[in-house]
A and B are shown apart, each in its own frame.
Chain A
């Protein structure tokens, strides 16, 4: 019925959601969603507000564990291993699958301490190594030149766009394999947004990126694959080009042509 059935799109997947259901109390926010997310590419999740795309994203690194009343059924595999298996450690999983949130969430610490926080909690104590990691991560996040002279200033003094790039650097510093992004540019101005988009283009060379976005233009600009969500279900999944030029489902076509949403 839908294009997500295994085999319909030939993907060497990094992350694989299999018959995923997410409940908030008795409300079912995600209904039997299956999706393969390829390695070293950008997969965009689009759909109208409240369609469950953020809920789906948060199920991919067990963030729902932190939400009282939320329940996840089904499987999500990372390199073939189920992250919801009873012996899977959410701390290890989130180390390998990082997340960038809709609103920048800098810790009330210095820029340096923000970026070094991840490596430190994973046991890195060596100052020189930490310095190198902080610099590498900030360079990767295209922020180094703007902050290299004020690493010891509070991260809260940065602009919104800089804070968001710092939050991306903070994730990069723990060297995850997958980066989940929940509308990372929705709170930013157009210039900051385009910087983030450029950055995502760089990141996919090394990381697998799954990004929720409100903006269809953004999905079209940055992603290889796109999944269209509606009312908690994945209506259609395919290459971004196909989704935007030759959608096979009526709902997808209605959405991308702006008839609802």
Chain B
């Protein structure tokens, strides 16, 4: 009984709809007469509880259903390349003969492109992001960190088309004039844009990883006469390794799935890049470019679905890796 008044209070706060319900239930109670007011309120609060639980359960079931449909549909359509069109899986993965009009679906160029731009982004943006995370957690004055942290988290919310647009208007002309690249479009442009895009994720998560380390580790190191730099490299970095791994993996996940910004600067040429500044294409950019023109049920559409399926599998593998890395944290 002790929680009844609390529940009742809450229902009063919920407004007119709830109020009419209360009136109705009181009227109902008068009609029944056998039940005391107290016990009827208890019953009502239990009914609310049941409704709430069912609403939440319904929401959860719907989401799980939607995700399941998505995965099953993608798996079904994505394997038609191999089941219906009899195109060998190994050719899809390792051949670069891509001419869907002539039933050639070798996607090695796009897979390579995805791996290269993502690798570029994580090699450049990863260490940089971790460095800023260390700075915010260990070096920056408290006031500065208080201002910078939300500012950086805000960057996550910038639409990718904005990053792509800035890449297109600032970075591509810069690369065109200052490098060997004739157009400026290419692997480097895409990699740099992605490096910047993953920074907020990596910074924010690696800062959290450092902040979650106990003060006792810092004190233990300082009490041995270490400098702050020795403490960071010798104790904090290795201690935060699982959290930093998560930061990097989620950075990779963000980079690998990005389509729009990459598509705007990568050059979209279905060939292996001949250098770091040469144009190429990735799984996401190829899907974006070709999906409009692919006839329904065609081989081309099937191949695009296969690429989408591959992206989904990579994303799933990354999430599993995160789980694995976090388990080490205990």
Which A residues are closer than 8 A to B by beta carbons?
61, 63, 66, 68, 91-96, 98-99, 101, 103, 105-109, 117-118, 120-122, 167, 170-171, 174
Contact = CB atoms under 8 A, between A and B. Distances in A.
A109 B225 contact: no
B222 A101 contact: no
12 contacts: A66-B218, A91-B226, A92-B225, A94-B225, A105-B214, A105-B216, A107-B235, A117-B221, A117-B235, A118-B225, A121-B224, A121-B230
Contact of B239 (A96, A107, A120, A122): A107
Given A109-B238, A117-B221, 16 more contacts: A63-B222, A66-B218, A66-B222, A91-B226, A92-B225, A95-B225, A98-B225, A107-B239, A117-B234, A118-B224, A118-B225, A118-B226, A120-B234, A121-B234, A174-B224, A174-B225
A137 to B, nearest CB: 12
A171 B224 contact: yes
B173 interface: no
Nearest to A102: B216
Contacts of A170: 220, 224
A109 B238 CA distance: 8
Contacts, number: 67
B51 interface: no
A98 B216 contact: no
A72 to B, nearest CB: 15
A99 B223 contact: yes
Contact of A94 (B142, B214, B223, B235): B223
Nearest to A170: B224
B18 interface: no
B52 interface: no
Interface in B213-245: 214, 216-227, 230, 234-235, 238-239
B238 A108 contact: yes
Contact of A95 (B217, B224, B234, B238): B224
Interface in B230-279: 230, 234-235, 238-239
Given A68-B142, A107-B217, A121-B230, A61 B223 contact: yes
Given A95-B224, A107-B221, A101 B216 contact: yes
The B interface is mostly helix, strand or loop, or mixed, namely helix
Interface residues of B, number: 19
A167 B222 contact: no
Contacts of B227: 91, 121
A99 B223 CA distance: 6
Contacts of B226: 91, 118, 121
A170 B221 CA distance: 10
Contacts of A106: 220
Contacts of B219: 63, 66, 99, 101, 105
B223 A98 contact: yes
Nearest to B142: A68
A216 B328 CA distance: 41
Nearest to A104: B216
Contacts of B223: 61, 63, 94, 98-99, 101, 171
Contacts of A95: 224-225
A79 B239 CA distance: 36
Contacts of B238: 107-109
Interface in B176-224: 214, 216-224
Contacts of A96: 225
Max chain A C-beta neighbours (<10 A), residue from B216, B217, B225, B235: B225
Interface in B129-160: 142
A66 B219 CA distance: 8
Contacts of B218: 66
B222 A103 contact: no
Contacts of A120: 234
Max chain A C-beta neighbours (<10 A), residue from B223, B234, B235: B223
